[in-house]
Amino acid sequence: MEKVAVQRAVDAAGGQAGLARAVGVSQPSVWHWLRKSHRVPAEYVIPVEAATGVSRHELRPDIYPVEAEPTSQAAA
């Protein structure tokens, strides 16, 4: 899932170079995220989310899990 999210972020930014410019890293760094580690490093998750609209929950569910909806309780 993280690999797909990284690809979506790259696509949303117009390519690896575009994402690199948007978050202040080199294009080879983005290539590494996409092809080797398959994840965005923790310190870049929020900037990538801001630049691309790809949710932090999709980019790094290990750090930003989706919280379960609170269950409604009947009034006593």
Asked if 60 contacts 39 with a C-beta cutoff of 8 angstroms, the reply is yes
Q: What pLDDT shows up at residue 72?
A: 58
For the chain, how many structural domains are there in total?
1
Residue with tokens 């998750």: 45
pTM comes to: 0.84
Residue with tokens 């989310």: 49
In-domain check, residue 33: yes
Q: Locate tokens 């750090």: which residue? A: 63
* Residue 65 belongs to some domain of the structure: no
Which residue in the block uniquely carries the two structure tokens 């092809």?
35
Mean pLDDT by 10 residues, the chain (76 residues): 91 98 98 96 98 97 82 55
CATH of the domain at 33: 1.10.260.40
Query: 9 vs 2, 31, 42, 49, CA distance in Å?
Result: 10, 12, 15, 8
Q: Under a CB-based contact definition with an 8 Å cutoff, are residues 16 and 30 in contact?
A: yes
Residue type, 48: V
